[in-house]
Amino acid sequence: MTAFPDKYEREHANPCSPEVRCLIEVRDLVKVYNAGGAEVRALDGVSFSIDRGEFVAVMGPSGSGKSTMMNMLGCLDSPTSGSYFLDGRDVSKLSGDELAEVRNRKLGFVFQGFNLLPRATALENVALPLVYAGVPPKERRARAIEALTRVGLAERVEHRPSQMSGGQQQRVAVARALVCNAPLILADEPTGNLDTRTSVEIMNLLTELNAEGKTIVLVTHEPDIAAYANRALHFKDGRAVGPAPGMGLV
């Protein structure tokens, strides 16, 4: 792994070592927002770990801190204190550019609102992470087509988001999350804007990807969507309170 030098890995040893099995290890994570002078502890000392190949649902009512947790996991926001090891590296203390590289190489996002570039075609949208990874144009195109084929959109590479249904747009987003071969997919309410039938299609796609070895972390407040996961993390008042009550999952 050239992106992460050996020296760095030795100095910031993964707590899961010597086996180095965990993909995600979060310890005592605290996030404090300053909302109009009042301190809001969105995360109040969260600790958990997620193994490679797991499919984990993050649940909880709004304001519970699950979205904040997702932003931390996605390296979109940095914690006030605590540590976050992703693939053996403490990312809570990285610079902006290093975080950009982590987002590019280690993570793929699937958002509730799809978040595609409206003026770009499906192909251009999917190829975009490869642009920032410095992949040459020909290879970008080949890999983007491969990813779009994987999500069943081989026929629609030249369509723009406005010419596609919600389900198709979300498939493009999934293809974009796959194209860099990141080990982790973060899905934030991926079915929130979709009807039931399309939701099932997307969840089946995510389940397939999990079966192929991708680690998936899914934020949702719907129990029937969470049921696709192998395990649930329940959040309440900024703390992880273990498996969701009544889910029957461990």
Partner 1 sequence: MVETFRTAVSSLLANKARSLLTMLGVIIGVGAVIAMVAIGRGAALQMEGLMSGMGSNMIILTSGAGRSGGVRQGAGSGAPLTLSDAAAIRDECWSVGEVAPQVGVGTQLIRENRNWPSQVTGTTAGFFRIRDFSARLGRLLDDEDERSAAKVCVIGQTVAAELFGADDPIGDSIRINRIPFEVVGVLAAKGQSSVGQDQDNTVIVPITTAQRRLVRSALSGSVSMISIQARDAGMMDSVMTEVRGLMRQRRRLEGDREDDFDLRNMTQMLESLAQSTRVMSVLLGSVASISLLVGGIGIMNIMLVSVTERTREIGIRMAIGARARDIRLQFLLEALLLSLTGGFLGILLGFGASKGMSSLLQWPTSVSPAAVALAAGFSAFVGIFFGFYPAWKASLLRPIDALRFD
Q: Of 85 and 109, which has the nearer Cβ to partner 1? A: 109
The least CB distance from residue 105 to partner 1, in Å, is 7
Q: Which residues contact 206 (CB under 8 A, 6 or more apart)?
A: 55, 110, 174, 185, 187, 190, 216, 218, 228
Q: Is there binding between residue 76 and partner 1 (CB under 8 A)?
A: yes
Q: Of 157 and 180, which has the nearer Cβ to partner 1? A: 180
Residue 126 · residue 175 · CB < 8 Å:
yes
The least CB distance from residue 23 to partner 1, in Å, is 18
Q: Is there binding between residue 77 and partner 1 (CB under 8 A)?
A: yes
Q: Is there binding between residue 133 and partner 1 (CB under 8 A)?
A: yes
The least CB distance from residue 44 to partner 1, in Å, is 19
From 60, 129, 161, 167, residue interacting with partner 1 (rule: CB under 8 A)? 129
The pattern of x and - marking residues 20 through 39 that bind partner 1 according to CB under 8 A reads --------------------
The least CB distance from residue 143 to partner 1, in Å, is 14
Residue 168 · residue 126 · CB < 8 Å:
no
Within positions 166 to 185, which residues make up the interface with partner 1, using CB under 8 A? 176, 180
- Angle between the 166-178 and 137-150 helix axes, to the nearest 10 degrees? 130
Within positions 93 to 122, which residues make up the interface with partner 1, using CB under 8 A? 96-97, 100-101, 103-105, 109, 111, 115-117, 119
Total residues in contact with partner 1, by rule CB under 8 A: 25
| CA 91 to the chain's CA centroid | 15
The least CB distance from residue 13 to partner 1, in Å, is 26
Q: Is there binding between residue 161 and partner 1 (CB under 8 A)?
A: no
Q: Of 96 and 248, which has the nearer Cβ to partner 1? A: 96
Q: Is there binding between residue 216 and partner 1 (CB under 8 A)?
A: no
The least CB distance from residue 46 to partner 1, in Å, is 17
From 32, 128, 227, 249, residue interacting with partner 1 (rule: CB under 8 A)? 128
Judged by the rule CB under 8 A, the positions of this chain that interact with partner 1 are: 71, 74, 76-77, 96-97, 100-101, 103-105, 109, 111, 115-117, 119, 128-129, 131-133, 137, 176, 180
